[in-house]
Amino acid sequence: MNAWRELERGRGSQAPRPDRPDVRVSDVASYAFCGRAWWLQRQERLDAGAWAHARVGAALDAWAPLRVLIWTAIGGAGVMVVVCVWLLTRR
């Protein structure tokens, strides 16, 4: 219980300061893996695995090209109606 109180002591609503910088979640995971690896990566940011992440993003946004297709279909149908009306009414 005391250990828990000790951890809670760092809590307090405040903006980032030079002596209390914000911590990024990605840094937490990286530091937990190895402090030195985290430090070395800070010198040179590596982005392994970014491509796989981007593929998931593409799947999530699968609706975007779909929207274009749907509007194309609606537009095509509109053109068809106009052409049909023109064909049926011309003398």
Which tokens belong to 60? 């999530």
Taking residues 4 to 33 in sequence order and writing x for each that binds another protein by CB under 8 A, - otherwise, the string is: x--xx-xxxxxxx--xxxxxxxxxxxxxxx
Which tokens belong to 21? 């910088």
What minimum distance in Å lies between the beta carbon of 91 and another protein? Answer: 16
Report DSSP letters for 37-56, one per residue: HHHHHHHS---TTHHHHHHH
- What is the distance between the alpha carbons of residues 71 and 85, in angstroms, rounded to a whole number? 21
Q: Does 85 bind another protein (CB under 8 A)?
A: no
What minimum distance in Å lies between the beta carbon of 63 and another protein? Answer: 5
- Note the maximum CA span of the chain: 94
Q: What angle do CA 90, 79, 83 make, to 5 degrees?
A: 15
Q: Does 58 bind another protein (CB under 8 A)?
A: yes
Q: Which is nearer to another protein, 16 or 91 (CB)?
A: 16
Interaction site with another protein (CB under 8 A): 3-4, 7-8, 10-16, 19-41, 44, 46, 48-49, 51-66, 69-70, 72-73, 76-77, 80, 83-84, 87
